Chain A
Amino acid sequence: MSERTSFKRDVQGLFSRYVTDMNKVKLSNPDSTGVQRLYLNDYASVKAFAWQIQVAIHGYDYDSRNEKWLVAAGQRLRAPGGREGEYVQSAPHPMPPDGPMPQEGIDIFDQWIRDGMQP
């Protein structure tokens, strides 16, 4: 992508179909006290839970049963504080629950985070 991604233009449409189901879900937010609802159509909410979302949508990257990666190294989620080549291998709740998002959508979300999560 040549220009920086934005929530309105690039991210909102990735999650629009999941909004209704996910806004019933309360998540623990380490940056606040207690739990909050996740609103996938709201910039502030997605920004606040960006890491949890990223882990969830990368939850299908690794096939633990067969112990093999299903996506290229460049498309995996780097483990927090990890060294080069260390990736998140599992998610408590891979999302969407019925199978992975198209890789293009995951790539867009990752890029949005790298771009500084613009509104």
Chain B
Amino acid sequence: MAYTGLRIHPAIGIARVGNSEEYYLGPESLAGMPLDGQDGTGGLPIRPGTEGTAIASTELRDASGKLKRQAARFRIYQYAFDAADGVESYPLGRRGAAAEVAIGSMVDGKVVKDIVWTVHLANKKANSWEGGDGVAPFENQRAPALRNPHFGEPGSPHFATPADPLRLKLLVIDAGPRTVQASRQSVQQFDAATPPSCAEAASGAVRSLPDYPVSFPRGGPSGAPAQDPGAVIASLGAITTETNGRLLVLGGYGKACGFDAQGNYSATAVLDDNVNNDNWFDDVADGPVTAMLLFADGTARSVEGSAWVVSTDPSYAPQTANVVSLWDDLYCTWLEKMALRPAVYADGSYQTGYRSNFSTDVQPILRAASLQRWTTSLPPRAIKEHDLLGKMKAEGLTYPIMNFIRHPDQTGAPSLRPQMPLSLGDAGSSLLTLTRAQYFFMDQWAHGQYVAGSGTFLLGAGEALDRTVLFNCLGGRYSPGIEMGFIVRDPGLYRQAWRRHDAGGPFRINAQHLDYLAAVRDQPFLGAGYMPLRGGAVQPGDVSKFMALPWHTDYNSCATHLPDPNPGGTVLNNQQAIDAATALKGNGYNTLLYSSWPAQRPVAVYTYDDVVANGGELTTPRYSVRGKGTRADGVPSATPENAEIDRPAMHVGRYQDRAQFLLNWHRIGVVVQSTAIARKAGEKAICKDYYLEVESLFDSDESNLVEYWRNTAIDKVYRPKPQPKPKP
């Protein structure tokens, strides 16, 4: 019997914080990838109110200079299947004849009168475990130490666990659910002043939930400016709709605030770690996105393919693709653990008969490699080689490229020849590797097993959104990452029974069914929730809770580091150890520094102003984070001589005082392709292949001179070149 499947896409959407009330829409094209008939590449955010018009550089900030938030846009597609229990395969491509469902669309012969969306946002970071070490601490039924271990009720059977009632009450920001009816074009804030609401299961009617136990950080000093970055968090974002019924989810404002031992606001909480700071909240969040269709005949139907939204750090280089993206890790997991595409992976191994699709399996890796030059400083020779990769055609390979690519299982000792990717590895691994799937695709291509185009990997419109949104996010290095962490590789995160048409399709988070009508005033509604490797349903706040708290400190620190573990061992902070590591026949200890996440957290950038001042040619890059307080030379180090090496070169490109980043994150510029840069009168066009930083609010460079890799821990650190004087 024919069955119409309803699915929300993207399956996982990404909103981003900003300090402005205004917003743009998240990109719906692949970062840095060619767009048919256009000079500009993909990845740019979208102008609100348009289908896909990319914004210009002048639209990254509002009129007062505040950084706009990024809205995650969701839409519903209907699929025409032969039967509800038919076997799903991936990708569906044109099968299923996916068509978007908007207000006025026909579904099973009925006119859609309205779409009712419900989103629930929460932040559980402060009631989570210490993060940064990946999945390993959760293996063998173990768990890492809790954040905020001093909070708990000693008499509770859940004492010292995330289920402790006092922890749930004080350490979870739960804005509760909000429902919007698309036809009303309203905005629902995820703040304490807006009553929670949900959609009734049978009718889709919006129901207020006055007893829902909304929970926000407690108390703030009276008279404190509410908009300060360190001011008490009062909102996790908002939802609204487009005229056609699509949903927009807005993230928070990039705030972080401290609290004291009683859970009350504190202006003096200390930021003493990059990833785990007790007594701190931030205002990112995540949660389920569900929808109901209301038909003109008075009936209603739930959309079975629910989605999830994650709000996270701003995107400071939206067109610079990561060599390993969040999509790559999710896709590899689904290939290997969820039987996504047996033609690629089956019976425990990748299928050697599979022919890589050059444009979808291989080219993104090559393009991403070539784009790294715009966010980290590479030597000229490497740039030349990377540029060749970025322009390579399917049949253009003339050398054994796999000799230069690090095998996914060899993450430790550096090879004699430089191996790619040349950046820091995942938790517990020194250097980054491609996913096993990416490596397989590259290897097949390198051995002539490929098709030149997309081959059989033809995505339907909704499927393309699933891929695109996560392609534009960080993968590979989850210590702990930016948008989502290592949990993307946990099959238990996802709805398992995806292979029936009525199950909502692949990549769906295993969302816990939440009975909002059972909510009781003053009694926390959300519990401990999902735990990696243990299965269990996922609650609002469970996806982002493994990320850094606050995100600011981790972003700040993640410029360049020594690998961890450092090949050869730890170099100590004394001249004798440095001599031994750098002697003629060295002791094998590594002193080279590598970038963390250069595509997602730009380290070194070419500024548009510098290029204009240099007649349109590239000049010395600058650190992306370069405000007052970022200078690394001359900062006294308190690190003892028997501790790990600590030299000025290891601190460049970041604030030396973590708290300073909280005050300045919104001043960082954004790297976009020159085709998106709004030129001032009289300025010449810049090479269309340049990706340059614009809209930085750092009016001087207070950091250090950027020098290209190889950077070492013992490098002399110099002052930067002066910034060009602004034109009158």
Where the two chains meet, the residues of A that have a C-beta atom closer than 8 Å to any C-beta of B are 8, 12-14, 16-20, 39, 41-42, 98, 102, 104-105, 108
Contact = CB atoms under 8 A, between A and B. Distances in A.
Contact of B716 (A19, A39, A105): A105
Central interface residue in A13, A17, A18, A42, by most chain B CB within 10 Å: A17
Interface in B689-718: 705, 707-712, 714-718
B582 A14 contact: no
A45 B443 CA distance: 43
Contacts of B518: none
Interface of B: 379-380, 575, 578-579, 582-584, 591, 649, 705, 707-712, 714-719
**Chain B contact residues, majority secondary structure:** loop
A61 to B, nearest CB: 18
Nearest to B716: A13
Nearest to B649: A13
Nearest to A43: B579
B710 A20 contact: yes
Contact of A16 (B584, B591, B709, B719): B591
Contacts of A98: 379-380, 708
7 contacts: A12-B714, A16-B714, A20-B710, A41-B583, A42-B584, A98-B380, A105-B716
B718 A105 contact: yes
B687 to A, nearest CB: 19
Nearest to B710: A17
A42 B718 CA distance: 22
B716 A14 contact: yes
Closest 4 pairs between A and B when the two form their complex, measured CB to CB: A13-B716, A16-B712, A102-B718, A41-B582
Given A41-B582, A104-B719, A13 B714 contact: yes
Contacts of B710: 17-18, 20
A12 B716 CA distance: 8
A14 B649 CA distance: 11
A104 B380 CA distance: 22
A94 B708 CA distance: 17
Contacts of A105: 716, 718
A13 to B, nearest CB: 4
B707 A17 contact: yes
Nearest to B718: A102
Contacts of B578: 12
B711 A17 contact: yes
A14 B717 CA distance: 9
Of listed A16, A98, A105, residue having the most chain B CB within 10 A: A16
A17 B705 contact: no
B614 to A, nearest CB: 13
B714 A102 contact: no
Given A41-B583, A98-B380, A102-B705, A16 B575 contact: no
Contacts of B583: 41-42
Contacts of B707: 17
A16 B715 contact: yes
A39 B583 CA distance: 9
B712 A8 contact: no
